[in-house]
């Protein structure tokens, strides 16, 4: 039998070896020096091995106690340990997020994590993943849809199915009844993203955005209007991506929808906004000069992440408040989503007579005809730089009739 003092003196050899303690308990001493406790036992006519931890984190007495528990369960006809399908959904969901998030862009990771933390876990998190029933999940999804969030309910249902599939693939469960569980939800007719329909209404919206008092939200909306990047690309941006010397924002492939690097030339107006924002963050938020690794649009009080950007929801709320405040004063500001700025930019650029290739390249749309075999983030860079400056100048012109608005937020 092994002793606690003797365990520390056991040295690794050229090959892995097993040091017996008795009644099926062994210490596996690897050539690397790692020491792992194993229990060998017979069940259903087969010899099996179960790892119960490493020494010294698991002491000799703890290992013997665990061996006795395993042997007792096996003699009673039970599995050596709790069946994997009794794992709580919360644990499996977080393991799934950790596994999948490196494959996603930052914005999508934030979105899915929010669905898990704010919808799924409060309602189902304590349920064993193998104990989920179709009736339980459909009742939960229908309750979400009755709140008027049919799209959210559908997306949440898709996440639950993905988690259950992950549990199946990992061997935590042998089956699940949740295939196509979202079919029960009412149909939803998709609507176009709201955006300013005319240059005049776009100008009114831009002028109102300039009066937002919260500097980070204001700058995020201003840069969105000027650069019309996707919201995920905007919110994942760090200061390291901004080249102030060359007035260029290089969005890495992992932050883009198409998984392709995107170069965004920055107009003078955009550079001014970003310089002022960086100075503000260095002075008021991070209290240091070097903030290259920080988000360009950081959240002041993140709920889920210790370090996070502002959310699309915060930007949408600011846009809605602008509309409410304008209505109180008898003015009209068009309703808009964050993605709506891309629609407005595309419409305006085409009306200005800009080159189609340059517009579509800057919008990061794929060429439907596959004319170009090789993708280059810097194609037409000089031409796009000139286009972006003309566009920024055009936005200034559109705002001029509305620049007398007072601060709203």
Given a contact cutoff of 8 angstroms between Cβ atoms, the answer to whether 25 and 8 are in contact is: no
**How confident is the model at residue 245, as a pLDDT?**
96
Report the SS3 class of residue 132: coil
Ranges of residues in the chain with a pLDDT under 50 are: 84-85, 190-191, 304, 368-373, 405-409
Two structure tokens written together for 12: 């690794």
Report the Cα–Cα distance between both ends of the chain, in Å, rounded: 74
**How confident is the model at residue 338, as a pLDDT?**
87
pLDDT tens-digit map of 332-389? 788 788 888 998 999 999 999 999 999 999 998 765 444 444 557 788 999 999 999 9
Helix ranges, 40-103 (H): 60-75, 89-100
**How confident is the model at residue 83, as a pLDDT?**
53
CATH 1.10.443.10 fits 199-402, yes or no: yes
**How confident is the model at residue 409, as a pLDDT?**
45
Select 86-184's CATH number: 1.10.287.890, 1.10.150.130, 3.60.10.10, 3.40.50.12160. 1.10.150.130
CA distance 131 to 243: 52
Select 4-81's CATH number: 3.40.50.10470, 1.20.1740.10, 3.30.160.390, 3.30.450.40. 3.30.160.390
**How confident is the model at residue 341, as a pLDDT?**
92
Q: Which residues is 115 bridged to in the sheet?
A: none
Two structure tokens written together for 27: 């210490």
CA distance 282 to 297: 12
pLDDT tens-digit map of 299-309? 876 554 557 88
Given a contact cutoff of 8 angstroms between Cβ atoms, the answer to whether 316 and 337 are in contact is: yes
Domain range annotation of the chain: 4-81, 86-184, 199-402
Element (H, E) at 168: helix 150-169
CA distance 150 to 185: 7
Backbone angles phi, psi at 81, to 5 degrees: -145, 170
Give residues with Cβ within 8 angstroms of 219, minimum separation 6.
273, 274, 276, 277, 297
User: Average pLDDT, whole number, for the chain?
Assistant: 85
CA distance 109 to 102: 9
């Amino acid at each position: 039998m092994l002793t606690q003092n003797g365990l520390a003196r056991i040295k690794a050899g050229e090959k892995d070896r097993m040091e017996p303690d008795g009644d099926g308990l062994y210490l596996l001493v690897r050539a690397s020096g790692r020491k792992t406790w194993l229990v060998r036992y017979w069940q259903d006519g087969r010899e099996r091995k179960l790892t119960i931890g490493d020494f010294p984190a698991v002491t000799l007495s703890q290992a013997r106690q665990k061996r006795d528990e395993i042997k007792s369960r096996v003699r009673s006809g039970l599995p050596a340990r709790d069946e994997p399908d009794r794992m709580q959904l919360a644990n499996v969901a977080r393991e799934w997020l950790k596994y999948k998030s490196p494959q996603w862009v930052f914005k999508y990771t934030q979105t899915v994590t929010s669905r898990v933390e704010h919808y799924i876990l409060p309602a189902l998190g304590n349920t064993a993943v193998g104990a989920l029933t179709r009736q339980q999940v459909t009742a939960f999804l229908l309750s979400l849809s009755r709140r008027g969030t049919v799209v959210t309910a559908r997306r949440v249902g898709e996440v639950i199915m993905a988690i259950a599939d992950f549990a199946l693939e990992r061997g935590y469960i042998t089956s699940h009844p949740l295939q196509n569980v979202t079919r029960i939800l009412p149909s939803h007719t998709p609507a176009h993203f709201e955006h300013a329909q005319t240059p005049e209404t776009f100008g009114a919206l831009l002028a109102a955005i300039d009066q937002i008092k919260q500097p980070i939200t204001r700058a995020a909306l201003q840069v969105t209007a000027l650069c019309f990047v996707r919201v995920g690309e905007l919110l994942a941006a760090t200061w390291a991506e901004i080249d102030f010397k060359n007035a260029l924002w290089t969005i890495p492939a992992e932050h883009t929808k198409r998984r392709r690097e995107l170069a965004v030339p920055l107009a003078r107006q955009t550079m001014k906004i970003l310089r002022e924002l960086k100075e503000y963050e260095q002075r008021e938020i991070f209290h240091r000069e070097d903030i290259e690794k920080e988000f360009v649009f950081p959240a002041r009080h993140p709920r889920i992440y210790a370090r996070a950007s502002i959310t699309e929801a915060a930007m949408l709320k600011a846009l809605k408040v602008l509309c409410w405040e304008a209505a109180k004063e008898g003015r009209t500001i068009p309703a808009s989503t964050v993605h709506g700025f891309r629609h407005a930019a595309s419409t305006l650029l085409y009306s200005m007579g800009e080159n189609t290739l340059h517009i579509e390249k800057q919008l990061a749309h794929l060429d439907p005809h596959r004319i170009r075999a090789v993708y280059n983030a810097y194609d037409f860079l000089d031409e796009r730089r000139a286009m972006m400056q003309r566009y920024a100048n055009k936005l200034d012109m559109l705002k001029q009739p509305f620049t007398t608005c007072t601060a709203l937020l």
